[in-house]
Amino acid sequence: MKNVVSKKADRKASLFARVAALIEEARRKVATVANIAQVYTNYEIGRQIVEEEQGGKRRAGYGEQVLMELSSQLTSRFGRGFSVDNLQNMRTFYLVYSAIEISEIPSRKSSIEKYETLSRKFTLSWSHYVLLMRIADPVERAFYEREAAERNWSFRQLERMYRTSMFERLQISKDKAKVRALMNRPAPDVEVAGEALKDPVVTEFLGTPDKYSEGELEDRIFGHIQDFMLEMGKGFTFHGRQVRCVIGDHSYYADLAFYNRFTRSFFVIDLKLKKVGHDELGQMQTYINYFDRKVKLPEENPTIGILLTSEKVDQALVEMFTPDSEKNRIFVKQYTSVMPSKVALKRIVIEEKRKFEKERLLALAARKGRGA
């Protein structure tokens, strides 16, 4: 009798789960369609405003007058959402994206065909685009738009990545070439390995206590594990915390370990509140050796070790203490809860590019000299 009752309960639970899944999927689709419709409508409103302004461009202040009158009329009929500021955003949205989109949509296409074409282009929410269109550099804007779409970033996540200057930090990182050499087996995207080595690593989501231990820092990261993995990059899954590495009669514990499905490699992370020296580098070497020999599969790529420190990194010291065989496998990165300004980071990026170009020209001159 109990079995019969249990089976009935299981069937009811199964029915509820299936129906609930259908409803949730339907709601997601409705939300997606509504979002696409809103973005498309705002784009078209922007186009209408721009075309009206162009028609009256000889009249001083005509554009401002158009927005004020239109805002009043739309608000009277449709309610909130059509302030002058919002209409200005729609106008800007059209101006920013029309150069890209309109050239790909012949004017002879019907409004339905245009909608279908644009709906494939505009996959983010209106809030995402309000932020994106404020980015003046088209390359930087395209970077954030692509990343947000591919990684399904919420608006909050996109805003955080922009606020913490992910674009500039990725350009500053000097370790991507080293990591590329490690990815010796085919992987969909080896660049994501270098992404985890952005400089600096920003952990503003952990707060800024006056003083804490390494264990407390680990607790804070574990409590914000999703934010931490977002900061690390795409393709990461959490493998473990205080991962035990048994070597002979001794046990060692790696603070955090992740696996990246794109690079097909483990990432072992150790947290330090002091300058990294010989002992810390030797400890990390032990961890990655253990993972390579005891944890990873033969078809997977070598393990990467990252030492995260609160202190400024002395790269010359790190280079000297790191064995040649591990130079492409162990990295030391500073983490910070306070970011330099975007202006300062852009200056660093420009300086790095100049430095790279100078080194390239010197190398070219040297090759020509040897040839002569």
User: Cα-flanking dihedrals φ and ψ of residue 277, to 5°?
Assistant: -130, -160
pLDDT: which is higher, 196 or 94? 94
Average pLDDT, integer, range 197-219: 74
From residue 55, alpha-carbon distances to 30, 72, 88, 361 in Å are 37, 21, 17, 52
- pTM equals 0.64
Q: Which residues contact 135 (CB under 8 A, 6 or more apart)?
A: 141, 144, 162
Q: What DSSP character marks residue 104?
A: G
Both tokens assigned to 315: 């790269």
Specify whether the CB–CB gap between 119 and 40 falls below 8 A.
yes
pLDDT of residue 210 exceeding 60: no
pLDDT: which is higher, 366 or 160? 160
Q: Which residues contact 270 (CB under 8 A, 6 or more apart)?
A: 254, 255, 256, 280, 283, 284, 287, 305, 306, 307, 308
Q: Give me the CATH code for the 168-339 domain, please.
A: 3.40.1350.10
pLDDT for the residue 104:
45
Both tokens assigned to 147: 């990343």
Query: What residue spans define the domains of the chain?
Result: 2-123, 168-339, 340-372
pLDDT for the residue 292:
93
From residue 141, alpha-carbon distances to 18, 36, 95, 100, 160 in Å are 40, 20, 14, 13, 14
pLDDT of residue 25 exceeding 70: yes
Q: Which residues contact 83 (CB under 8 A, 6 or more apart)?
A: 71, 75
Average pLDDT, integer, range 191-209: 68
From residue 78, alpha-carbon distances to 69, 74, 81, 111, 224 in Å are 14, 6, 8, 22, 41
pLDDT: which is higher, 336 or 172? 336
